[in-house]
Structure 1
Amino acid sequence: MQCIRNNEKFACISNRTNGSIFRRATFAQILSPSTKTNIGGKMSFFCATKFIVSVYIVQCILCMKPLFTESELLINVQNQGGEVIQETITSNLDDDSIILEFQRTDGTLITQLLDFRNDIQVLKALVLGEEERGQSQYQVMCFVSRLSKNDFISTDAMSKLRQKNPSTIRQPEEDRGRENFTMTAWVNLRQAAPLSQHISTLCTEAADSTYISDFDIRILASKPGASVSKLELAIYPFPTTQTTLSTCNAVSGLWTPCTCLLEMCIGWYPCGLKFCKGKIDTGIGNNASYRCGIKTCRKCYQYLYYVQQKQQCLWYD
């Protein structure tokens, strides 16, 4: 945020809003005779100046407001192979969402989006191409599923987390195993807003490789206020023949359709709050329960989905 004063103008400019100007006025305009009359006529020039300065301060505070709606944590995490990777966790209070991102040691970039407002989770994988096998570019896939709110702490709680020692290498307290998904349809990014407003932006590079399952669609359609017709427009199913296809690791031809498998593991994330009992000055008793920390977990997600050619699934070989 930048507040600028020149000879005649005051302006609050917020970088978070692409430089939009919230308010611009000249002293000459505000202190004109007509303006003084509107303020009350009897207000002195000094009081009018104080009024203007007060308005200016409020406007600057409004300009600063977006700066406090996001918080970011950098976490050093040791994976099961002993390597240390760095996770970035960003919480956004405005749209009630969390984004967790990290790069695996093989170069794959993993992004996890949690949309608490719409009960949607998106896992995105950017996989580098294998040049020795004819892949000169990277691939991007997005996997959309229901969000189980019990698996994560809230956006508000996440935004309040701080690290006493940012350089500490973290390990999760609990391993929650693997959750398996069988994807049955593509997501139409142009019609994806009924699922989540974030999908079309996050998965821009995965226009033909954003997936969802019928199982999750049915559950999302049963939510109060859900529009079944809009959800149906947001997806288009895999070919009916995909159920009989071989897995890609059993197919030899690089241009043969097959069923791909991709696994992504989140090595560390806050999965719950810890509550303690003790003597604290709360005014409600000596054995009051209070929040005293977070519980951390590890979890893997495995996706089975249709690809039009094995070339799109070379890691599963």
Structure 2
Amino acid sequence: MRDKRNFFVLVNVLLLHLCLLVDITDTQLVINVRNQGGDVVQENISANITDDTVTLEFQRSDGTLVTQLIDFRNEVQILKSLILGEEERGQSQYQVLCFIFHFPKESFISSDAMAKLRQKNPSAIRLPEEDLGRSNHSMDYVVLLKHSGIISPHIADACAEAGLATYTLHEDVVKWATAQGLPVMSYKPALKKFPTTPDRFSNDADGESAPACTDIKNMWTPCRCHLELCIGWYPCGLKYCKGKGHARNSVMSYRCGIKTCRVCHLFDYYVSQKQQCLWDE
């Protein structure tokens, strides 16, 4: 019964996401990717040139729906995870988490280049050319959605279901402030610190430490949760080849393909009770 309910919940969520993609995007590719466990995962990648964004979405073998949204204009990456609940352990049908962090523009092909990609063999199973390993992110703040526009105008919509489960980290707030030429303090209304995080806006270094969720058994105790999300295949750069130019003995460079990568992100963040982090055991 639980599996059937979870199935219908996930189908409804997927249909909603697909409807949104049809309305707002310029192009969409469907890529079959073999993950490290040997399973084939289908990724939907879409580009919106007007908003200068790229969205990548897939469902993991455990039913988790992962959405990556790249906001090139503001150098922001949104990584959203919809995790099916374990009803027999007291969880609701699903929970949504959003992780907001800095995104270097050169680490993904542009939305314009993405919109021009075409698939020669849509049924092919893809493998990334380069594994970039794992990046660790220790989250410092909850992002308050009603004020999140100062970071990116896409956060409020993308993370609407996450509520107070949208997170970011201080060092990236500093990067965004520097890039925008704004004082770091201007971001304070959009952020709520964890009880375990020092208040860096007031130079308060104190913060109550919380144990890792893996180290405690009480389901109602605050702890630090860990969640790893991996993007198994994405176009991380363009390839250029050299050829003869129009002038005699001249050489010219031209775009001749894309480079593809795999990357994992490990997030460490505060939860008010271990019940919100049952997978971290």
Shorter-normalised TM range: 0.7 to 0.9
Residue 244 of structure 1 aligns to a residue whose secondary structure is coil
Alpha-carbon separation, structure 1, partners of 2:249 and 2:75? 37
Give the counterpart of 2:254 among 286, 290, 308.
Answer: 290
Cα distance in structure 1, aligned partners of 2:23 and 2:99: 30
Residues 79-116 of structure 1 show CA distances to partners (whole Å, capped at 9, x for unaligned) of: 01111010001100001000000000000000001000
**Rounded Cα–Cα distance in structure 1 between residues aligned with 2:115 and 2:249:** 29
Which residue of the partner structure matches residue 257 of structure 1? 222
**Alignment of 1:310 onto 2:266:** no
- Report the TM-score, using the length of structure 2 for normalisation: 0.85
Measured in 2, the distance between the counterparts of 1:255 and 1:204 equals: 25
Alignment of 1:72-91 (within 5 A): 72-91=28-47
Number of residues of Structure 1 aligned to a counterpart in Structure 2: 251
Distance across 1 between alignment mates of 2:208 and 2:109: 37
RMSD: 1.9
Cα separation, 1, equivalents of 2:214 and 2:224: 9
Q: Which amino acid aligns with 2:236?
A: C
**Counterparts in 2 of 1:239 and 1:68: CA distance versus 1, 3 Å:** closer
Gaps of 5+ in 1: 1-65
TM-superposed CA distance for 1:244, in Å, is 1.4
The one-letter amino acid paired with 1:258 is C
1:264 is paired with a residue of what secondary structure?
Answer: strand
Correspondent of 1:268 among 218, 223, 233: 233
Cα distance in 2 for partners of 1:69, 1:110 equals 18
* Inter-partner Cα distance in structure 2 for 1:157 and 1:192: 28
Query: CA separation of 1:68/1:210 partners in 2, compared to 1, >3 Å: closer, same or farther?
Result: closer
* Runs of 4+ deviating beyond 4 Å: 66-69, 282-286
* Greater relative CO (CA pairs within 8 A, separation 6+): 2
Q: TM-score, normalised by structure 1?
A: 0.76
Using the aligned pairs only, state the percent identity.
55
CA 1:246/1:240 → structure 2, altered by over 3 Å: closer, same or farther? closer
Deviates more, 1:166-175 or 1:218-227: 218-227
Distance in 1 between the 2:24 and 2:174 partners?
Answer: 37
Q: Which runs of 5+ in 2 are unaligned?
A: 1-21, 198-206
What does 1:1-317 align with in structure 2 at a 5 Å threshold?
70-226=26-182, 228-240=184-196, 244-279=209-244, 282=246, 286-317=250-281
Does the 8 Å CA contact 2:24/2:48 hold for their aligned counterparts?
A: no
Shift of 1:131: 2.1
Letter in 2 for 1:151: S
**Residue 68 and residue 161 in structure 1: after superposition, are their counterparts in 2 closer, same or farther (change >3 A)?**
farther
Q: CA deviation at 1:226?
A: 2.7
* Structure (1 or 2) with the larger CA radius of gyration: 1
For 2:13, the equivalent position in structure 1 comes to none
